[in-house]
Amino acid sequence: MKKITNLQGTFELHNGVQMPYFGLGVYLSKDGNEVIHAVKDALNHGYRHIDTASIYDNEEGVGQGIRESEVDRKDVFLVSKVWNNDQGYDATLRAFDASLKRLGTDYLDLYLIHWPKGELSKDTWKALERLYKEKRVRSIGVSNFLKHHLEDLLPSVEIVPMINQMEFHPYLVQQELLDFCNANNIQYEAWSPLMQGHIFDLEVMKEMAHRYNKTIAQIVLRWDLQKGVVTIPKSSKKERIIANADLFDFEISEADMKALNALDRGKRFGPDPDNFDF
């Protein structure tokens, strides 16, 4: 197990960049006061990793939240993603510039291809490699790429993706994909770790939370980290942002880790990377 120590702890990416293994996701956080306050509250509480995307339509607020926080930009691991309509070599370069402008920064710590788009994503990846070589982004990766998407992409790359950000929770472990990423030094990252709220309905989670004297969210987020998976739960509520990060005074036993793994049923709550229409 990778060492899990504190809110500012990191996993090392294959290019040596230290990526905080816990962050704030801002999907569905409204641009303006909602996302500004969420980012400020997270950073001022100790978070150092903020994950947004051009399609979230809140990059301006994320940038403002960082500037208004007590934390220097250089100490924040800032992530955005290129949307499907902007894939392709030239379009991706333009989309990256537009994201930087909205965020009010001159570099990103991680830039991701948001969804796999076949041959088009190979051109997109070449643009990401260029941005990386130009030191305009510190690390590059993909999101929602299944094993066969990666197997299609990898033979054509100069630089292996540092990250694969996937829907990941006890109902969707995808251990074979996780093992493939680990074997290729691609850091796995979880989105929707709380199963869009459905995690709170599971009796096994209620029982485990009671036993550990922790919340259900804290149990599942700790499980992510102990599996070596970066995680970015989303919230715009200050108390939830703070509670989600209270993960570093307990450890889930090996037996309970296995019990959570065994909940896997291949169930998605978000779109299927093999069957989406956007």
The token pair at 218 is 């804290």
CA nearest neighbour of 17 among 246, 248, 230, 241:
230
3-state secondary structure at position 237: coil
Contact 276, 268 (CB under 8 A): no
Q: Which residue is catalytic, options 56, 111, 132, 188?
A: 56
Q: 10 Å Cβ neighbour count for 155?
A: 7
CA nearest neighbour of 61 among 48, 71, 52:
52
CA nearest neighbour of 104 among 25, 39, 17, 19:
39
CA nearest neighbour of 102 among 37, 38, 58:
58
Q: Is 56 a known active-site residue?
A: yes
Tell me which DSSP letter residue 195 carries: G
Active site residues: 56
